[in-house]
């Protein structure tokens, strides 16, 4: 009987010890217990671009190549990228979120979380006929044709980012953290007037009225967004992802790709490929054009499009990415400097500058890649560099998001 009691006591003691693992030290170096598991993610609408090397340098027909595109071999860390440009309907989700948050706030649909902070109660229904929402609509002489329309000037979104470069080079160990937290705001309603502004003596008013809102263009790339608006979208998308993360582990942030991530992804694994499809020509063996651009001397519809086309038109490259050439040119996170190839690091090169509103215009240049529906074939090449001012909106510039791959898989080798 005593032997049985001792056995039971030993078993109970072992169960207590086992159940207490991770909460008490046992003298062994075992790491921290109860860490959340991480099996990677597979974001909807994104494809994986594995790590690899990229030979950057001159494109064909680039007469100034010795100045802005010096040859260099670089290495790129694996990442995810949207398989298409961000579409009107995806951007509309962002606009509607901002619109609804304004309405909920005006109606007082807020509650406190566990930390005592106020947050929107998204379960509450919005009474769009409430007088409390009158300020969200055009009033008085701004009303057109008696229509009740939301005033898009109210659609302002606040976003923030951390200046890791400034923090890394800071010499003051007592510097407050908020010194490196940058905040900005952007009106996130697309500039629909670009269709009129970009082309003198050209009738494009129907696109101004319809391109962003009409269902016919839901799956077309969003345009009329500047560089800051694209960054605001990436921040919102990150917050949206993290708020619904099932395992409670925040991922890396969604962001605009660097210009060399973009070029590496555009080539689709083809070394020195001048186009995403790998060949040296913009037509296939049957004579069909392979992208949406301006062929010849202005025969816009020859490629099957007239202005933009659906974001998944034409065949994808070997990474599964659509329209890396043509359709719309795409913002990158990189600042444009003519001679940046001569001083960039060969490990994940990244040349950035967060220009302030009062900075000289030359410091507001951001690299755009890929060419657009209104560009000639030269700008379709994967290595062609071009730029636009960060506060500029155009009818031919959009973007897509990237997300750094966390960890390392055997497929990266």
93-104 per-position pLDDT tens digit: 999 999 999 999
Read off the pLDDT band of 64 (50, 70, 90).
low
What pTM does this model have?
0.90
* Residue 10 predicted with pLDDT over 50: no
- Cβ-contact 254, 66 below 8 angstroms: no
> Given this model, what pLDDT does residue 410 score?
46
- Cβ-contact 219, 310 below 8 angstroms: yes
- Cβ-contact 221, 85 below 8 angstroms: yes
Q: Is residue 123 part of a domain?
A: no
The 46-49 sheet, strands edge to edge: 46-49, 79-82, 402-404
Q: Is residue 204 part of a domain?
A: yes
143-197 per-position pLDDT tens digit: 999 999 999 999 999 999 999 999 999 999 999 999 999 999 999 999 999 999 9
DSSP state of 358: T
> Given this model, what pLDDT does residue 339 score?
87
Q: Say which residues have a Cβ less than 8 Å from residue 111's Cβ, sequence separation at least 6.
A: 118, 119, 120, 121
295-326 per-position pLDDT tens digit: 988 899 999 999 999 999 999 999 999 999 99
Instruction: Please give the backbone phi and psi of residue 291, each rounded to the nearest 5 degrees, phi first.
Output: -155, 170
> Given this model, what pLDDT does residue 8 score?
47
Distance CA 279, CA 74 (A): 22
> Given this model, what pLDDT does residue 16 score?
47
Q: How many domains does the chain have?
A: 1
Distance CA 144, CA 33 (A): 63
Read off the pLDDT band of 139 (50, 70, 90).
very high
| Residue whose C-alpha is closest to residue 385's, from 295, 288, 262 | 262
Q: Is residue 133 part of a domain?
A: no
Q: Is residue 368 part of a domain?
A: yes
> Considering Cα of 30, then 32, then 33, then 35, what sign does the dihedral take?
negative
Higher pLDDT, 72 or 410: 72
What is the average pLDDT across 112-138?
89
Q: Is residue 128 part of a domain?
A: no
- Cβ-contact 11, 3 below 8 angstroms: no
Helix (H, G, I), strand (E, B) or coil at 74: strand
Q: Is residue 343 part of a domain?
A: yes
24-28, 56-60, 62-66, 253-257: segment of lowest average pLDDT: 62-66
Alpha-carbon torsion angle 332, 336, 341, 345, nearest 10: -60
> Given this model, what pLDDT does residue 159 score?
97
Q: Say which residues have a Cβ less than 8 Å from residue 66's Cβ, sequence separation at least 6.
A: 58
| Burial label, 259 (beta-carbon count in 10 A; 0-12, 13-18, 19+) | buried
Distance CA 390, CA 331 (A): 9
> Given this model, what pLDDT does residue 39 score?
75
336-395 per-position pLDDT tens digit: 998 898 899 999 999 999 998 899 999 999 999 999 999 999 899 998 999 999 999 999
Read off the pLDDT band of 66 (50, 70, 90).
low
Distance CA 102, CA 136 (A): 8
307: containing domain: 46-113+156-412
Q: Is residue 6 part of a domain?
A: no
Type and span of the H or E element at 11: helix 2-19
Q: Is residue 141 part of a domain?
A: no
Distance CA 21, CA 45 (A): 40
- For position 242, which CATH number holds? 3.90.1580.10
The percentage of the chain sitting over the pLDDT mark of 90, rounded to a whole number, equals 71
* Residue 406 predicted with pLDDT over 60: yes
> Given this model, what pLDDT does residue 265 score?
97
Distance CA 212, CA 322 (A): 20
Q: Return mean pLDDT, the chain.
A: 89
């Amino acid at each position: 009987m005593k032997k049985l009691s001792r056995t039971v006591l030993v078993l109970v003691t072992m169960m207590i010890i086992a159940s207490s693992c991770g909460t008490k030290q046992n003298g062994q170096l075992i790491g921290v217990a109860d860490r959340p598991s991480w099996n990677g993610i597979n974001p909807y609408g994104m494809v994986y671009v594995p790590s690899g090397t990229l030979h950057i340098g001159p494109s064909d027909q680039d007469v100034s190549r010795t100045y802005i595109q010096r040859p260099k071999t670089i290495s790129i860390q694996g990442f995810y990228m949207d398989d298409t440009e961000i579409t009107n309907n995806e951007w509309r989700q962002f606009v509607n979120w901002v619109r609804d948050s304004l309405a909920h706030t005006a109606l007082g649909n807020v509650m406190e979380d566990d930390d005592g902070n106020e947050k929107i109660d998204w379960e509450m229904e919005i009474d769009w006929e409430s007088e409390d929402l009158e300020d969200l609509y055009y009033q008085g002489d701004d009303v057109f044709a008696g229509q009740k329309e939301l005033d898009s000037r109210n659609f302002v979104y606040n976003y923030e980012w951390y200046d890791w470069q400034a923090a890394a080079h800071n010499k003051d160990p007592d510097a407050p953290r908020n010194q490196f937290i940058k905040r900005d705001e952007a009106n996130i309603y697309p500039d629909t007037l670009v269709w009129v502004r970009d082309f003198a003596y050209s009738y494009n008013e129907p696109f101004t009225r319809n391109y962003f809102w009409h269902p016919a263009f839901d799956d077309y790339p969003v345009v009329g967004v500047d560089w800051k608006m694209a960054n605001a979208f990436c921040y919102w998308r990150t917050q949206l992802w993290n708020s619904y993360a099932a395992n409670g582990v925040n991922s890396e942030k969604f962001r605009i790709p660097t210009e060399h991530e973009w070029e590496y992804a555009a080539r689709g694994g083809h070394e020195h490929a001048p186009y995403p499809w790998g060949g040296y020509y913009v037509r296939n063996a049957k004579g069909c054009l392979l992208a949406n651009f301006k062929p010849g001397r202005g025969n816009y519809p020859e490629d099957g499009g007239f202005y933009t086309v659906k974001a998944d038109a034409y065949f994808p490259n070997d990474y599964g990415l659509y329209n890396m050439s043509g359709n719309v040119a795409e913002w990158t996170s990189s600042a444009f400097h003519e001679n940046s190839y001569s001083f960039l690091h060969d490990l994940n090169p990244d040349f950035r500058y967060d220009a302030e509103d009062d900075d000289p215009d030359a410091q507001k240049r951001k690299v755009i890649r890929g060419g657009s529906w209104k560009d000639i074939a030269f700008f379709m090449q994967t290595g062609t560099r071009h730029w636009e001012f960060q506060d500029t909106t155009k009818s031919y510039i959009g973007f897509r998001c990237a997300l750094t791959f966390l960890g390392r898989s055997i497929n990266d080798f």
